């Protein structure tokens, strides 16, 4: 078994101590001066890889800091942890599970058994089901109970069962099927599903219930409402067993007990974390929207990024570099958040997708061994597309008192846009990065109009927003989060922090011992139940 050293404490390393010393002198660093004094900096601090170009030369680091960061990665268990993940070891230790979402885009590489089942065979079976179902829906062969073709698909899920496919469908909308619309319902707020159902024809609607466990409260409540609607509109006594319902889950038995027919269940392994599941049957809506062939292109982009991460030296490894920059800002320069700004409106769901990926994965305060951590982990991810953000929160980025690194994401070419629109869009992206770095503090400038500058950013430029490049982009961030977690010594693949609120919500629903609630909660519960 690979030694991933769960006792690793980054703060005890010489590299961590050196980074602290370097951070104490970071006030003397000027990004603009570093670029001006070193003609090779821009090229040296850039990585060109297939359809992506990553420029991190506007980072608040010099070559000495960068070298120490790479050294920290080298002494950490990152290399051995990558090998452990690929070999199927249970690196999700709190749940005793392997982490094999990479198998979903390259099953041949993971041809071994886990929990008595062959990983590659399960992935191949799931992909065959995705192809079959999406092809039948797109071609009009999947019929509702009255014999009519499906025109609308409702993806009912939450968290990873919603954010990933919703983000991808939105990003790839230029490829969307003209005859089938995909809708996404996640929030338990009934106004959302009730409003949507009023706009749809039950005869031509397919409800896809997506839940890893098939026990998720919000998902099953929304599904209950959708099934009641199918019953009312179509007179189906058991709509869950009709051709209007599909189940996607890692718990086939629960879906069967719910009433979904076995041949209408798409299964994936429990070694796939929810926020990493869009590559599995959870991504059915993507295949329905853009077609199975383009869904495979999405997988291929992620697969290519996997190989880049697994096999590239840390000094040229995009996920590792992004992770190290975040560690530098978070742990040594006291930055508590990062803004992700895609200069592409179709990527408007990318920031919330990355919020879950980063904050649910690395929002941890204990090590792999359960020891309290004395240094920061995780970080707040937020943002929205430019240029909208320029007229909202960029004021804080430019003139506020907090250090907030910015990650710009754009596409060099956009066939959906016009030449003028796209040129101006990208000019704004480049201008913001330059302005954050350069600032403006001339002597005759009034204080309120001064920009301190020296604010760091990175820019990731895609050739074009294609399924392949989107897959690579998503996988890049997946591996970035994993690399951070390994270096911090935490488990990035569980999410116990979401469980307590769920438990208390169930108790409140039952009004279980409401007299024992704290005075504030009891007071609010009384008003809620009385309304």
The average pLDDT across 177-204 equals: 97
pLDDT in tens, 41-99: 999 999 999 999 999 999 999 999 999 999 999 999 999 999 999 999 999 999 999 99
pLDDT in tens, 101-134: 999 999 999 999 998 899 999 999 999 999 999 9
- Residue 493 pLDDT greater than 80, yes or no: yes
Residue 523: strand, helix, or coil: helix
Is 1 or 269 the better-scoring residue by pLDDT? 269
Confidence of residue 516 (pLDDT cuts 50, 70, 90): confident
pLDDT of residue 340: 98
pLDDT of residue 514: 58
Task: Say whether 101-295 and 10-75+312-494 share the same fold.
Answer: yes
Secondary structure of 437-500 as H, E, C letters = HHCECCCCCCHHHCECCCCCEEEEEEEECCHHHHHHHHHHHHHHHHHHHHHHCCCCCCCHHHHH
Class for domain 101-295, per CATH? Answer: alpha beta
Smallest Cα–Cα separation from 208: which of 133, 146, 296?
133
Confidence of residue 4 (pLDDT cuts 50, 70, 90): low
Q: At residue 7, what are phi and psi to the nearest 5 degrees?
A: -90, 5
CA–CA dist 243, 25 (Å, integer): 65
422 is catalytic: no
- Residue 528 pLDDT greater than 70, yes or no: yes
pLDDT in tens, 502-512: 888 888 888 75
Q: Among 177-191, 314-328, 372-386, 439-453, which stretch is predicted with the lowest mean pLDDT?
A: 439-453
Of 17, 224, 421, 502, which one is the catalytic site residue?
Answer: 502
Are 83 and 99 in contact, with CB atoms under 8 Å apart? no
- Strands 113-114, 117-118: pairing kind: antiparallel
Domain spans in the chain, listed from the N-terminal domain onward: 10-75+312-494, 101-295, 499-530
Confidence of residue 1 (pLDDT cuts 50, 70, 90): very low
- Residue 18 pLDDT greater than 50, yes or no: yes
502 is catalytic: yes
The average pLDDT across 340-359 equals: 97
Of 198, 391, 448, 503, which one is the catalytic site residue?
Answer: 391
| Average predicted confidence (pLDDT) for the chain | 95
360 is catalytic: yes
10-75+312-494: CATH topology is: Rossmann fold (3.40.50)
Of 218, 358, 360, 484, which one is the catalytic site residue?
Answer: 360
């Amino acid at each position: 078994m690979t030694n991933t050293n769960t006792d690793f404490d980054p703060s005890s390393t010489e590299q961590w101590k050196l980074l602290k010393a370097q951070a104490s002198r970071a006030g003397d660093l000027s990004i603009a001066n570093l670029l001006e004094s070193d003609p090779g900096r821009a090229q040296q601090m850039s990585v060109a890889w297939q359809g992506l170009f990553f420029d991190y030369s506007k980072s608040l680091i010099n070559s000495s800091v960068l070298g120490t960061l790479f050294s920290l990665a080298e002494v950490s268990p990152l290399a051995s942890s990558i090998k452990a993940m690929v070999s199927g070891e249970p690196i999700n230790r709190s749940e005793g599970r392997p982490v094999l979402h990479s198998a979903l885009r390259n099953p041949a590489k993971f041809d071994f058994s886990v929990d008595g089942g062959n990983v590659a065979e399960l992935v191949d079976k799931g992909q065959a089901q995705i192809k079959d179902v999406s092809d039948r829906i797109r071609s009009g062969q999947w019929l509702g109970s009255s014999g009519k073709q499906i025109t609308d698909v409702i993806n009912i899920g939450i968290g990873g069962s919603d954010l990933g496919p919703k983000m991808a469908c939105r990003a790839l909308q230029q490829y969307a099927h003209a005859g089938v619309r995909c809708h996404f319902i996640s929030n338990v707020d009934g106004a959302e599903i009730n409003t949507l159902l009023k706009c749809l024809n039950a005869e031509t609607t397919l409800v896809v219930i997506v839940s890893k466990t098939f026990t998720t409260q919000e998902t099953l409540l929304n599904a209950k409402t959708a099934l009641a609607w199918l019953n009312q509109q179509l007179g189906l006594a058991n709509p869950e067993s009709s051709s209007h319902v599909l189940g996607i889950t890692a718990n086939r038995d629960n879906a069967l007990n719910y009433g979904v027919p076995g041949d209408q269940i798409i299964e994936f392994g429990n070694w796939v974390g929810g926020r990493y599941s869009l590559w599995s049957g959870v991504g059915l809506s993507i295949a329905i929207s853009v077609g199975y062939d383009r869904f495979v292109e999405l997988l291929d982009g992620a697969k290519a990024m996997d190989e880049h991460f697994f096999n590239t030296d840390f000094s040229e490894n995009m996920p590792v570099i992004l992770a190290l920059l975040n560690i530098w800002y978070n742990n040594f320069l006291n930055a508590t958040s990062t803004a992700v700004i895609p200069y592409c409106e179709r990527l408007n769901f990318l920031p919330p997708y990355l919020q879950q990926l980063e904050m649910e994965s690395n929002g941890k305060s204990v090590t792999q061994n359960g020891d309290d951590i004395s240094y920061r982990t995780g970080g707040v991810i937020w943002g929205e597309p430019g240029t909208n953000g320029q007229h909202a929160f960029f004021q804080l980025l430019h003139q506020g008192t907090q250090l907030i690194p910015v990650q710009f994401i754009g596409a060099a070419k956009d066939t959906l846009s016009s030449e003028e629109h796209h040129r101006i869009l990208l000019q704004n992206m480049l201008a913001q990065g330059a302005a954050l770095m350069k600032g403006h503090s001339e002597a005759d400038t009034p204080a309120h109009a001064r920009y301190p500058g020296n604010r760091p950013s990175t820019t990731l430029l895609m050739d074009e927003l294609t399924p392949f490049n989107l897959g690579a982009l998503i996988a890049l961030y997946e591996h970035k989060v994993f690399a951070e977690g390994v270096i911090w010594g935490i488990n990035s693949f569980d999410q116990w922090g979401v469980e307590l609120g769920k438990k208390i919500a169930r108790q409140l629903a039952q009004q279980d011992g409401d007299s024992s609630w704290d005075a504030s909660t009891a007071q609010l519960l009384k008003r809620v139940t009385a309304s």
